[in-house]
Structure 1
Amino acid sequence: MFVGIETTNILVLGSGDNLHQQVLASFPLCDVTEEDLTQNPQFCKLLATLTQHVDRSGLTVPLKADLERAEQKLQSQKRQWLRSESLHRGLQEMIQEFYVRKHNSTVPPDQNMFYETMERCLRVTRCAKQLDPSSTTSQDQPSVLGLTPQQVLQLLPSEKNVQRMKQALPRQLERRLKEKCLSLVSYYQPEWENESEGLKTNKLSHLSTLLDKDKKRTELLKETCRENTVLLQRQTQLYLSELIKCIQLLQTLILDHRLKIQTDLDGKKLDYFEGKCELVLQKIKTEMVEIQLDTYSLDTISAHRKIREKLESELTACKAEKQALEMKLSSFEILGKAFEALADEYCRLRQEIDMKNWALKELTKYNEK
């Protein structure tokens, strides 16, 4: 029975690509692509079923209703707080402006009494409220300086002055709020600033409607912006995936093409470098010949060549002699240490013979003299 209901819900949404598009539109915050839904049809059916119970933000229908009621209650309490806060700040601004006027010029006594009474009432009421324990806690709060709210309330002005202040306050406050509202109208539409006060007052009555329209239009633009952002992210992911595939294909083509022509390219490079080396060698030889011609004459060069040939022939002969002696020395080394001792003895005897021959020659020279 449940399977039949689920199938009916999915058929109501759509089928095929249309179903995928509707599922993606129903879950804009879900990072899922159409390809994922195509590869996972059961997951797509699950999401299509969830669209009957979940909104676009992912909240269930009962939770969404509770959230809306909580938001309405919060907005109501916020409006009440803003109303009282606006009145309190308006009164504070009126007092500040009064003291500025009093500092710059002389004010009538009735105004002086009115504003002083209002300021004193605000201060006393605020202090009494601070001393009054909160209604949200059952614990007793310690008193400040041992004072109670009743003791502070005794500092209020006389009842007569308070009544006079209360009678004049609505008119003054209404005038103050009207000026601020007209300033708000001028700020909202600067072209209305030069119009008459009656026309501004008439437009002020429609200001809330205009602000609601602007707010709705702004929210609609924000929602459109979020949808466009999600769409842009999906398109970017799709674009990047396609781009990666193209890059991989290009890499494959480049590697295949390079492997095919690499041999010919290496051969051509080798021929080029061989020719370049040969050219450099010929240039070096030419430079050497030019240096020789600039340094020596033809006769000197021919003499140097003969000397070089003779020295090379003598060097060749010395190398051959050296090689022969090395061969003899290697053959003597084969005889071992016994032959080494005989060779040392032979060297010693040769040295003695040479010394005696030298002494004999010297003696002969001395006798001849």
Structure 2
Amino acid sequence: MSAGSESIHVSSLGRGDSLHQQVLASFPLCDMTEEDLIQNPQFCKLLATLAQHVDQTGLTVPLKTELDKVEQKLQSQRRYWLRSESLYRGLQEMIQDHCVRKCHGTVPPDQNMFCETMEKCLLVAQCLRQLDDSSSNDQDQPSVLGLKPQQVMELLPSEKSVQRMKQSLPRELEKHLKKKCLSLLSYYQPEWENESEGLKNSKLSHLSAQLEGEKKRTESLKETCRENTVLLQRHTQLYLSELIKCIQLLQSLILDHRLKIQTDLDRKKLDYLEGKCELVSQKIKTEMVEIQLDTYTSDTISAHRKIREKLESELKACRLEKQSVELKLASFEILGKEFEALAEEYCRLRQEIEMKNWALKEFTQHSDK
């Protein structure tokens, strides 16, 4: 397809938001959003062009035509089968009704003969259908119980009884079907059950049209329900995507707020711990003072203070003496290693002088005694 024809097809669907909406409507089964089409404009054009050749289910026009023909043929075969099946089930119901009436009361002889003849004919027809080998490809396949169709045909009632049954069959079948239709009418509209026979027959003639209308309305409601389901899924997807975005935004806001609050909490906690530490320190000092007051008297404390003052003065003097000695020692170290021997000799002599002074002192004390 040329670019010109493609642009014609795209423009025929609409422009902007209208194009997106029509593409989404043309492919309801696809899980797409309008945002996807906006983000992929070439893909949107492709879908708009493709919508001219396929229907909403994705089938092409020739395939859809062929499918419709096959569907019509299938419907025709189905109607034929339903007619045959309905007729067969109607005859079976007539036989069952006859058996029920026969068990609960007397039945007219002609009615009894009619039902028995019809039952035998149905059984024979069913047996013949089972024995029919025309649909089987295997010609050598043995028949059921070794029976032949001719043997089963011999079980049919007399020709006269069969002819009489065939003459009465349309009338009896019509009565049975009419009775079923009236039962269906009573079930569909219970208020019509007490109406006259003529009015029931009149309303019965319109029952099929009403049921057809109800069927079409039901199909329309189903289609609307499917469209609403697709629309709901699309809206749910959009809602979930928007909800995820909101959750992510909320998470980021919570994280930022938490970081700011955490800084304030840490600062307040630090102030609290500092205050508590200061309080504990003051409490320790108070306890120490209380212990001192409980342990020492005021005189003892004053004496300790004097002793402390004296010791501190002596310590100060010793530090000053140490400082002067260190200065002298530093001046001596300037003289070098030659003065080290003289200093050692001087120390030795001082020690000897001190020892002799102590011995002289002791000797003098003992002499005075």
Instruction: Work out whether 1:107 is the aligned partner of 2:107.
Output: yes
Displacement, 1:180? 0.4
Letter in 2 for 1:95: I
Displacement, 1:267? 3.2
Q: Structure 1: which 5+ residue stretches go unaligned?
A: 281-301, 304-369
State which drifts further: 87-96 or 152-161.
87-96
Q: Structure 2: which 5+ residue stretches go unaligned?
A: 281-293, 296-369
1:60-75 correspondence runs (5 A): 60-75=60-75
How far apart, in 1, do the equivalents of 2:129 and 2:152 lie? 10
Displacement, 1:274? 7.9
Displacement, 1:59? 1.1
1:59 partner SS:
coil
Instruction: Work out whether 1:222 is the aligned partner of 2:222.
Output: yes
Q: Deviations over 1:45-83 (max 9, x none)?
A: 110011111111111111111222222211221111111
2:144 partner SS:
coil
Displacement, 1:215? 1.6
How far apart, in 1, do the equivalents of 2:156 and 2:101 lie? 25
Question: Structure 2 vs 1, CA of residues 12 and 185 (structure 1 numbering), >3 Å: closer, same or farther?
Answer: same
Q: Which residue of 2 aligns with 1:130?
A: 130
How far apart, in 2, do the equivalents of 1:48 and 1:37 lie? 11
How far apart, in 1, do the equivalents of 2:198 and 2:13 lie? 55
Question: Structure 2 vs 1, CA of residues 278 and 63 (structure 1 numbering), >3 Å: closer, same or farther?
Answer: farther
How far apart, in 2, do the equivalents of 1:273 and 1:114 lie? 111
Q: Is the 8 A contact 1:13 1:22 kept in 2?
A: yes
Q: Which residue of 1 aligns with 2:169?
A: 169
Q: Which residue of 2 aligns with 1:76?
A: 76
1:209 partner SS:
helix
State which drifts further: 251-260 or 155-164.
251-260
Q: Which residue of 2 aligns with 1:234?
A: 234
Identity rate, percent: 77
Q: Which residue of 2 aligns with 1:257?
A: 257
How far apart, in 1, do the equivalents of 2:126 and 2:205 lie? 33
Q: Is the 8 A contact 1:129 1:149 kept in 2?
A: no
State which drifts further: 50-59 or 1-10.
1-10
Instruction: Work out whether 1:34 is the aligned partner of 2:34.
Output: yes
Instruction: Work out whether 1:191 is the aligned partner of 2:217.
Output: no
Letter in 2 for 1:198: G
Higher relative contact order (CA 8 A, sep 6+): 2
1:145 partner SS:
helix
Displacement, 1:120? 0.8
Larger Cα-atom Rg: 2
1:236 partner SS:
helix
Q: Which residue of 1 aligns with 2:245?
A: 245
State which drifts further: 95-104 or 178-187.
95-104
How far apart, in 2, do the equivalents of 1:202 and 1:279 lie? 105
Letter in 2 for 1:80: Y
Displacement, 1:27? 0.5
Q: CA RMSD in A?
A: 2.6
Scaled by the length of structure 1, what TM-score is found?
Answer: 0.72
Displacement, 1:273? 7.2
Displacement, 1:270? 5.2
Instruction: Work out whether 1:45 is the aligned partner of 2:45.
Output: yes
How far apart, in 2, do the equivalents of 1:148 and 1:67 lie? 43
Q: Is the 8 A contact 1:120 1:156 kept in 2?
A: yes
1:106 partner SS:
coil
Letter in 2 for 1:262: Q
Displacement, 1:241? 1.0
Letter in 2 for 1:138: N
Counting matched residue pairs gives: 285
How far apart, in 1, do the equivalents of 2:264 and 2:218 lie? 67
Scaled by the length of structure 2, what TM-score is found?
Answer: 0.72
How far apart, in 1, do the equivalents of 2:99 and 2:242 lie? 72
Instruction: Work out whether 1:90 is the aligned partner of 2:90.
Output: yes
Q: Is the 8 A contact 1:128 1:150 kept in 2?
A: no
2:145 partner SS:
coil
How far apart, in 1, do the equivalents of 2:137 and 2:88 lie? 28
Question: Structure 2 vs 1, CA of residues 167 and 253 (structure 1 numbering), >3 Å: closer, same or farther?
Answer: same
